Structure 1
Amino acid sequence: MTLAILHASSPPTPRAPVPPISGASAHPAAADVADRCRTVTVADADCEAAWDAKRRHFFGQKD
């Protein structure tokens, strides 16, 4: 119990700062599609394909 109290009262260890993510490495056409698709309110084949590709990339799935 004493160890748990000491651990809880000790200050957290500092972590390395997270480097900022730059949009410069993104493909410009993909960035334009993503910006346009954020505001689209109707079905759009280009937007659906872009979001599907982004989803596959996020989950690490191959094409």
Structure 2
Amino acid sequence: MKKMFLAAALAALSGCATGEAPLDISTLFSTKNQPADTQAMRWDHVPASEGWTEATLAALDDHGQNLV
């Protein structure tokens, strides 16, 4: 029974690799999220939040470091 299952599995998988185009699996299993156009801040509900967000992002651009 195990040999028959193994033979069927190998036959099914052999059709997956046709060699026509390389498969880049890094895009299938990426752990990185795409950056948002506008960052959500915890103070967005405050009336002056737009200025705070601009100041925060400017500070990060000036002397912040990328984590990845």
* TM-score (ref. length: structure 2): 0.26
> Which structure has the larger Rg over C-alpha atoms?
2
Of structures 1 and 2, the one scoring higher in RCO (CA 8 A, sep 6+) is: 1
